[in-house]
Amino acid sequence: MSAKIKYTDEPLGKTQVVADFLPSPSELAFREEGVKVTLALSKKSLEFFKSQAAKHQTQYQRMIRRLLDAYVDAQALTLRSRGRADKRRAP
C-alpha cells in the first residue's frame, strides 16, 4: 500500500452507541482447574478427534474437553429447568 491516505473532517452521519459486549480481560484469562484422568477411547473416536484437530489447528485433547464441558453445561440447564417444573407440580 504505497498510496497515501488523505483524511478529511467529514460528518459521520447517523451514529449509534453499542453496548460493550466483549468479555473483560479477567474473563479471558480465566482457566478452570483441570483434573488429569485416564480414559480409554475407541480407536475410531480418537482418530476422528485427531483428524479434526489437525484440520482446525488445535489439540485433540482440548476438543474432547470442550465437548464434555458443553455436554455438562447443556445437562445442567436441562436439570435446572426440569427442577423448576417439578417444584411447580409439588403440592
Q: Rounded to an integer, what distance in angstroms lies between the CA atom of residue 23 and that of residue 29?
A: 10
Considering its fold, how many domains does the chain have in total?
1
Mean pLDDT of the 69-78 span: 91
pLDDT attached to residue 38 = 96
Enter the pTM of the model. Answer: 0.57
Q: Which domain holds residue 83?
A: 41-89
Distance CA(51)–CA(45), nearest Å, equals 10
Question: Is residue 53 in a domain?
Answer: yes
- Tell whether 64 is covered by a domain: yes
Does a structural domain hold residue 68?
Answer: yes
The rounded radius of gyration (Å) of the Cα atoms in the chain is: 24
Residue 20 domain flag:
no
Q: What is the pLDDT of residues 17-61, one digit of tens each?
A: 888 888 777 777 777 888 999 999 999 999 999 999 999 999 999
Contact 23, 13 (CB under 8 A): no
Examine residue 83 and state whether it is found in any structural domain, yes or no: yes
Give yes or no for residue 77 having a pLDDT over 70: yes
Element (H, E) at 75: helix 60-89
